[in-house]
């Protein structure tokens, strides 16, 4: 089954304790992206990757890191989490085939609470 998976689905942590949220897709997609969802703000892009070893900042990258060492994986790293990073996080992926439209598939979300 084609899917985007995220782990963990729920995480409660404390300020300053490094954490990683994993994202994996099995559709051989080139493009992957991380969003955070906050009430009243919708979804905002954190980072994206056009392909292996190619990453770039989205609209709200502060406090986050990403890496893209393999095509299928795109982990989101919070080196020193703070309470304002408490949010619902979504990973998404899509193909970059020559056709101009490629649907983005979303993971199930990771709800992070930073105390």
Partner 1 sequence: AQSVTQLDSQVPVFEEAPVELRCNYSSSVSVYLFWYVQYPNQGLQLLLKYLSGSTLVESINGFEAEFNKSQTSFHLRKPSVHISDTAEYFCAVRLNTGFQKLVFGTGTRLLVSP
CB of 14 or CB of 54, closer to partner 1 = 54
Applying CB under 8 A, among 44, 65, 71, 72 the residue interacting with partner 1 is: 44
Q: Does 11 bind partner 1 (CB under 8 A)?
A: no
Q: Does 41 bind partner 1 (CB under 8 A)?
A: yes
Task: Say how far apart CA 53 and CA 32 lie, in whole Å.
Answer: 12
Which 74-113 positions form the footprint of partner 1 (CB under 8 A)?
90, 92, 94, 96, 100-104, 106-109
Task: Say how far apart CA 85 and CA 40 lie, in whole Å.
Answer: 15
Task: Say how far apart CA 87 and CA 113 lie, in whole Å.
Answer: 7
Its sign, for the CA torsion 19, 77, 88, 101, is negative
Site residues (vs partner 1, CB under 8 A): 31, 33, 35, 40-45, 48, 58, 90, 92, 94, 96, 100-104, 106-109
């Amino acid at each position: 089954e084609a899917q985007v998976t995220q782990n963990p689905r729920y995480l409660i942590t404390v300020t300053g304790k490094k954490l990683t949220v994993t994202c994996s897709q099995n559709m051989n997609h080139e493009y992957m992206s991380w969003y955070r969802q906050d009430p009243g703000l919708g979804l905002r892009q954190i980072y994206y990757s056009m392909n292996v070893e190619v990453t770039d900042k989205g609209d709200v990258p502060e406090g986050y890191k990403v890496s893209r060492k393999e095509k299928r994986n795109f982990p989101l790293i919070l080196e020193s989490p703070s309470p304002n990073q408490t949010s619902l996080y979504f990973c998404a992926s899509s193909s970059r085939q020559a056709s101009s439209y490629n649907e983005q598939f979303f993971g199930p979300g990771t709800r992070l609470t930073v105390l």
